[in-house]
Chain A
């Protein structure tokens, strides 16, 4: 499989990365090189094989459903580019 220029623009938008028209042909070439490389997986017989979902077979531990952290809003927002009163500030989303 390979991607065309429209698909490159669509993926870039899905990934929320701005891509200029001038960059599309170059990116398309790189992505197609990677897709050509992974193409060899299609020759593997995977009939009846379970996908790997856990690297080490083990039961996932669960912690008690209790509050064990919090009241640190100032610490949470400390690294944000824009804040007001312990809130993150973003461009207007709702009209």
Chain B
């Protein structure tokens, strides 16, 4: 029998239906793989007992012909999603040993459809980071290495555990969240497929909040089809999230293999940065060739406010974070550090519980919202955000179906290599992805090639609001042309 962990979700679904193997066997294969790959630090909590129970239940349902769309498919869950009776920490010391008495809407829909929980995946603390180095559980290792080198590389972030686990076949797919690029950037760094759906497509209920007007959940998987399969279960209206949109969830998988002939693809000139590595430039033009060969038409477009997206993001996101993270006060859950009075207790708890990056963002967010500065910073940033969104609207109004850009300005970098002296150096990783969050649009990152050192690179496709289907169709074209990339196993 072939190694069950190397199957795609679509292949596993067939194998389970044809009784080639059981859900229990599929789950056991993954649990063994996780145990053998602890050096990657992708999982912060393994839940083998729960996994076997869920797999057994899936086998019983499959036998009765009642298996759901994800029956028996073992998944990893980013530790930002609340899982009932299973420790959920957002990889922050301040949540300590928090055991949620409730289940996030997105994960509850995955279990409804028969998926199996393998464990909780590492991420940057409160999803603040682009390298998974800010986690209180320590950094995640990328299964990919430079050719002929043993240097440990980051998997990107904040969904670094999700990307690393999917790339190393430690789960068939994973949940992730994306506030400024946290699904697409790690997907690009690990040769996996990651989609951030339109804001409002997936419920945010039960996901630890970072920046509420930007956060959105989505899947990371090994193929475009697998991402489409997961998206269908994750998406949908939820009365418990007032920003979740009440429109029907399409069968995303039906978009896989659909013709893209005649589609207009925007190529934004503002994404061609000064000093951009030649291999990124080459990858981008290769992408246009692949889409042209499939019958799509390339159209030069302009998104004039692109360069302001990242600075506006670093006002809006910390402002919202400082407000969301006010709840961690040592009273109702998580860590408590004593003080002489209640204010000192708050201050000591938050000083001890938050890591450096989180503290930095809470402080900057507090500053830009404070009296006398609100108009100059926050209000101005929200106006700039309107302009960024309008850039995209103008583009789509001219008949553009989707926009093609590089996913990241470089391939994966080494642990400890970036952001040590100046936090902005790390923030620049999200330069191509953050515009999409600011405008609330869907974006997908698809593996597209390798750099000269053998590291994966990805392309990003940006779609119209709620038109994830077009992204899946275009993503599949790139995947078929570029082929799939698997990290050589060294762990």
Q: Which residues of A does B touch, CB under 8 Å?
A: 1, 3, 7-8, 11-19, 27, 30-31, 33-35, 37-42, 44, 46, 49-53, 55-56, 58, 60-61, 63, 72, 75-82, 88, 90-93
In the complex, A38→B213 CA distance in Å?
19
Chain A hits for B362, CB < 8 A: 15, 17
Task: Report how far A90 CA is from B377 CA in the complex, Å.
Answer: 35
A81 touching B312 in the complex, CB below 8 Å, given contacts A31-B360, A51-B386: no
| B359 contact set on A, CB distance < 8 A | 17
Q: Give the residue of B200, B348, B367, B387 whose beta carbon is less than 8 angstroms from that of A44.
A: B387
Q: Chain B: which residue is nearest A78 at the CB level?
A: B101
Q: List 29 A-B contacts (CB under 8 A).
A: A3-B367, A11-B363, A11-B367, A12-B363, A15-B322, A15-B362, A15-B363, A17-B347, A18-B344, A19-B351, A30-B360, A31-B364, A34-B360, A34-B423, A41-B384, A44-B387, A49-B386, A53-B382, A55-B243, A56-B199, A56-B245, A56-B440, A60-B242, A61-B242, A79-B334, A80-B333, A81-B333, A92-B342, A93-B342
The CA of A18 and the CA of B331, in the complex, are separated in Å by 17
- A10's nearest neighbour on chain B, judged by CB, is B370
Return B342 CB to nearest CB of chain A, in Å: 5
Cβ of A51 and Cβ of B383 under 8 Å apart?
yes
B200 touches A56 (CB 8 A): yes
Docked Cα-Cα span, A34 to B101, in Å, equals 38
Residues of B within 8 A of A (CB): 98-99, 101, 198-200, 213, 239, 242-243, 245-246, 305, 307-308, 310-312, 314-315, 322, 326, 329-336, 338-348, 350-351, 354, 359-360, 362-364, 366-367, 370, 373, 376-377, 379-387, 389, 422-424, 427, 440, 465
Compute how far the CA of A75 lies from the CA of B332 in the bound complex, rounded to whole angstroms.
Answer: 11
How many residue pairs bridge A and B at CB < 8 Å? 158
A50/B383 in contact, CB under 8 A = yes
What chain B residues lie within 8 Å of A35 (beta carbons)? 364
* Chain A residue at smallest Cβ distance from B102: A75
Shortest Cβ-Cβ A-B pairs, 5 listed: A51-B382, A55-B440, A81-B336, A18-B351, A79-B333
Chain A residues with Cβ under 8 A from B389's Cβ? Answer: 52
* Least distance between A20 CB and chain B CB atoms (Å): 9
Residues of B within 8 A of A39 (CB): 311
CA of A62 to CA of B81 in the docked complex: distance in angstroms?
25
